[in-house]
Chains A and B, each alone.
Chain A
């Protein structure tokens, strides 16, 4: 009471941290708890009938409870909560790895046997269900391949890249060098971001409608597919390029302009070469993003079993659509396995393309990056 009169009441700090003290805990206590929990879970399932998934799930739950209790007892309740959250966060990471590993394992284990010289050099033209029956019943080698789909993927993606890179790059140049914070630049930036979220199938419907109105309804060809992919690709190219142009130091621009070099030459001779590695890796990532698109190509390009390298004329095939089509409509519905094998083989090729493009992007960004410092 008397102290309250002398010193004003201490303001209550609301930093959300309890004042419960934390005591040190042994360093590897959690490891012992972890091993003990999984041992207990394994023992439990040994009595009930073994299941590896069950052991892991129950073991993890036991561990969560046990680690909270032990740490609370040893080092205080706050340390217990801390350890519980740490375990949940590590658990989330492991959980996310499961589908990734499972997907990659499935793709490689089923897809790899399908890939052969034939698979890479033949198409599916003229193949009948009988062929697959022979594969299953007499062990005949897998017939037909994905040549038409590989060519189609490369051609359509290349055209999409040719359309989107100039548009995307020039837009990025406008945003960084000219528009800056003008109202047009702001709205372009906003709508480019919104465009990133356009569902791929809507891009396909757009290309289909556009070509339907221009060339008669039902027109399906490679160019329509490339237009659909370009709609999906342009926003990525703009965003990546803008970021890269923005980090080019302003001193370089100013030095160039001060020497009387016109703006367009400053951009093409100074800014773009400086950012070249970043731009190239951004474009590579954008290609990786669209190369596996299925839905828009299914709508705008259609499906064919024959090799067609003329993007202006008639349907083509692409790896993703090829895989989807064989997976959904096997060549011989009675004997699905050969078709599934082809589908997984095509998907494996696609994943290899994507991983290579991603690695290439990293490589370009790292090796050709301008040397900084002096």
Chain B
């Protein structure tokens, strides 16, 4: 009681005013505006692409390359981009999950670090190197494989007319698979390592073999991470330029994936841009805009999945 009275009796001191220093305001403002600048850059990328792409959308359809308008110009490229990325994902995912499990649950502890470093290094090798390697080393090896596929499975449209040079969209996809391997591996490895040790030990204590422990404890826990990694890999494969531009011998749309022909949006831009001018330039920028929108959607889904995962992982 007496304490309460004491408080009411003494005059209330004014709440301490936070000291505002000019340097603080400037520093906070700079930090904040850099953050906003990044958002503006992203908006700017979209805006400048739209401005420069506009003429291609509004132009007379006869003036667009191919003479049938922008839509019929872009759809074979979208098809090629999607097909090559999907093949790459299908090839890379099982291998990447295998490597991630190898690093997180099979390799000796001392080896796990260096192996992770080597895999990260694979991610840092410039794409032009993979392209040159794909054309000079891989493509000649694939020629006989395509001939064999044509002779034995040629009645399936996809395996008709095997290319002898190996400069096909499938070869490009294999190289893409190698290139996206590190990203899927590193995302999956991160979540596998986060698996609660108690879950793993519980499985082992119930008499599980190592694989049963992985199947019942690690994989269910890591599934969102794997899916996120796959989506990120997909985003990278969709936008990969040089490997496809170098390896593929591009051409019109064809179902025969082991033959030359087909093309992807980024490869088409890289191959035609240096000589392009006028409306052709606008068309290529419009193609880039389409690619930008596709990868933006894929990446936003991927980030959404990965981030949702992050909220759970705090609870272990």
Q: Which A residues lie at the B interface, using CB under 8 A?
A: 15-17, 21-22, 78-79, 81-82, 85-86, 88-93, 95-96, 99-100, 102-103, 106-107, 166-168, 170-171, 173-175, 177-179, 184-185, 187-188, 190-203, 205-206, 208-210, 212-213, 217-218, 231, 234-235, 238, 262-265, 267, 285, 288-289, 291-295, 298-299, 302-303, 320, 323-324, 327-328, 340, 343-344, 347, 350-351, 354-355, 358, 362
| B-chain residues with CB within 8 Å of residue A208 when the two chains form the complex | 285
B 104-126 binary contact with A (CB < 8 Å = 1; else 0): 00110000000101111110111
- Besides the known contacts A15-B203, A188-B39, A263-B28, 5 further A-B residue pairs in the complex with CB atoms under 8 A apart: A96-B181, A197-B296, A202-B45, A205-B49, A209-B52
Contact B203 A170 (CB under 8 A): no
Does B16 make an interface contact (CB < 8 A)?
no
Residue B246 contacts which of A90, A185, A299, A324 (CB distance < 8 angstroms)? A324
A260 to chain B, nearest CB (A): 9
| A-chain residues with CB within 8 Å of residue B94 when the two chains form the complex | 92
Contact A292 B106 (CB under 8 A): no
Contact B31 A347 (CB under 8 A): no
Query: B19, B208, B277 — which one has the most chain A CB atoms within 10 A of its CB?
Result: B208
Report Cα–Cα, A171/B37, bound state, in Å. Answer: 9
Contact B52 A347 (CB under 8 A): no
Report Cα–Cα, A175/B210, bound state, in Å. Answer: 41
Does B83 make an interface contact (CB < 8 A)?
no
Contact A22 B207 (CB under 8 A): yes
Contact B34 A170 (CB under 8 A): yes
| B-chain residues with CB within 8 Å of residue A328 when the two chains form the complex | 246
Contact A174 B106 (CB under 8 A): no
B 229-243 binary contact with A (CB < 8 Å = 1; else 0): 000100110111110
Q: Given contacts A170-B30, A190-B303, A289-B124, are A86 and B239 in contact (CB under 8 A)?
A: no
Residue A191 contacts which of B38, B48, B98, B214 (CB distance < 8 angstroms)? B38
Contact A263 B126 (CB under 8 A): no
Report Cα–Cα, A242/B242, bound state, in Å. Answer: 31
**Total contacts A to B, CB within 8 angstroms?**
277
Does B165 make an interface contact (CB < 8 A)?
no
| B-chain residues with CB within 8 Å of residue A212 when the two chains form the complex | 52
Contact B288 A205 (CB under 8 A): yes
Report Cα–Cα, A175/B239, bound state, in Å. Answer: 28
Contact B24 A179 (CB under 8 A): no
The 8 closest A-B CB pairs, nearest first, are: A199-B239, A292-B126, A92-B98, A264-B27, A197-B299, A170-B34, A174-B31, A82-B209
| A-chain residues with CB within 8 Å of residue B17 when the two chains form the complex | none
B263 to chain A, nearest CB (A): 13
Contact B31 A198 (CB under 8 A): no
Residue A193 contacts which of B51, B212, B295, B303 (CB distance < 8 angstroms)? B303
Q: Which B residues lie at the A interface, using CB under 8 A?
A: 19, 21, 23-24, 26-28, 30-32, 34-39, 41-42, 44-45, 48-49, 51-52, 94-99, 101-102, 106-107, 115, 117-122, 124-133, 135-137, 178, 181, 185, 203, 206-212, 214-216, 232, 235-236, 238-242, 245-246, 266, 269-270, 273-274, 277, 281, 284-285, 288, 291-292, 295-296, 298-300, 302-303, 307
B296 to chain A, nearest CB (A): 6
Report Cα–Cα, A292/B101, bound state, in Å. Answer: 30
Contact A202 B31 (CB under 8 A): no
B173 to chain A, nearest CB (A): 13
Q: Given contacts A82-B211, A205-B285, A205-B288, are A191 and B42 in contact (CB under 8 A)?
A: yes
Contact B23 A234 (CB under 8 A): no
| A-chain residues with CB within 8 Å of residue B19 when the two chains form the complex | 262
Nearest opposing residue in chain B for A202, CB measure: B292
Contact A17 B45 (CB under 8 A): no
Residue B209 contacts which of A22, A209, A234 (CB distance < 8 angstroms)? A22
| A-chain residues with CB within 8 Å of residue B270 when the two chains form the complex | 201, 295, 298-299
Contact A343 B132 (CB under 8 A): yes
Contact B128 A320 (CB under 8 A): yes
| A-chain residues with CB within 8 Å of residue B284 when the two chains form the complex | 205
A27 to chain B, nearest CB (A): 15
Contact A206 B49 (CB under 8 A): yes
Residue B273 contacts which of A178, A298, A344 (CB distance < 8 angstroms)? A298
Residue A262 contacts which of B24, B34, B38, B303 (CB distance < 8 angstroms)? B24
Contact B21 A262 (CB under 8 A): yes
Contact B236 A90 (CB under 8 A): no
Contact B126 A234 (CB under 8 A): no
Nearest opposing residue in chain A for B26, CB measure: A264
Residue A294 contacts which of B23, B122, B128, B216 (CB distance < 8 angstroms)? B128
A-B contacts, 29 listed (Cβ < 8 Å): A16-B212, A16-B216, A17-B203, A17-B206, A82-B211, A86-B106, A90-B106, A102-B137, A106-B133, A171-B35, A184-B36, A185-B35, A190-B303, A192-B38, A194-B42, A195-B38, A197-B236, A197-B302, A198-B295, A200-B239, A203-B45, A205-B285, A206-B48, A209-B285, A217-B281, A218-B277, A264-B21, A264-B24, A298-B274
